Amino acid sequence: MTFNSPAVLVVYNVHKRDAGIIPLLLSASGLRYSLISNREFVQLQPQLVPRHLIILGGPQSAADIADRETLALLRRIEFYARRGYSIFGICLGAQMLARAFGARIVRHRLGAREIGYHRVYRLDPVMSCDLPEGHYYNWHYDVIEEFTAGRVLMQSELAPIQAFRIANNLFGVQFHPEIDLRTIHHAIKIGAHRLNDFGAHSAFDQITAHRLHAQKNMARLRGALVRWLAN
């Protein structure tokens, strides 16, 4: 596999190559990137891995890792995280990063499925954070608990840890700042049976909220990526 010396490696955990708006933002910044599957990532020789890694979300669970592929991904994330690489974890990527540093990942205690655009708040308005508080897209059932190694930055009504930082080089968010409308339509289609669950928003509300918040969140993510890439 040839990477042509990318500045950023983006790892996806679903069956198709989907990273939302991240490729657009990286390209607009003049940064080379490679988008690869988790299976390709765990097989990649360390000398081929750039210093900046984005680990995306996926349907796997970080709460009870039963399959070898997901366990191998967790071990590789920990390997690079403990060697000073800069990692930006999103949803599953954030949960696995937190678990690598001792956090517990569990199904929501109330059975909530946080789906759609939920308000995310800063824990401390004075504390610096890569992303400002606001409405961000969520699709997760698991939550992060007992996380003493990280500095918790954001929370929502249903999730006590929505964003965190470990040192200066590791950053994780449970929500999806990278989401685009195409991916929302896909998620609604395959997850239609979940939209009546506690914490889930209707398909109409998800699409309406995306049209309201998408441009603002794109600018927020662009700024967060610039700051993260400086580490």
The reply to whether 120 falls in a domain is yes
The reply to whether 1 falls in a domain is no
What's the confidence (pLDDT) of residue 5?
Answer: 64
What's the confidence (pLDDT) of residue 208?
Answer: 98
The reply to whether 2 falls in a domain is no
The reply to whether 3 falls in a domain is no
Judge contact between 189 and 183, C-beta under 8 A.
Answer: no
**CATH number for the domain including 140?**
3.40.50.880
The reply to whether 55 falls in a domain is yes
Digit-by-digit pLDDT tens for the chain (231 residues) are 445 568 999 999 987 788 999 999 999 988 899 999 999 999 999 999 999 999 999 888 888 776 788 899 999 999 999 999 999 999 999 999 999 999 999 988 888 899 999 999 998 765 556 789 999 999 999 999 989 998 999 999 999 999 999 988 999 999 999 999 999 999 999 999 999 999 999 999 999 999 999 999 999 999 999 888 887
Can you give the residue range of the structural domain that contains 35?
8-229
Angle between helices 203-229 and 181-190 (to 10 degrees): 130
Q: How many domains does the chain have?
A: 1
Angle CA 171–180–3, to nearest 5: 60
The reply to whether 165 falls in a domain is yes
The reply to whether 53 falls in a domain is yes
Q: pTM for the complete prediction?
A: 0.94
- Closest Cα to residue 55, out of 27, 79, 30, 31? 79
The reply to whether 213 falls in a domain is yes
Give the CA-trace dihedral at 132, 182, 59, 122, to 10 degrees. 10
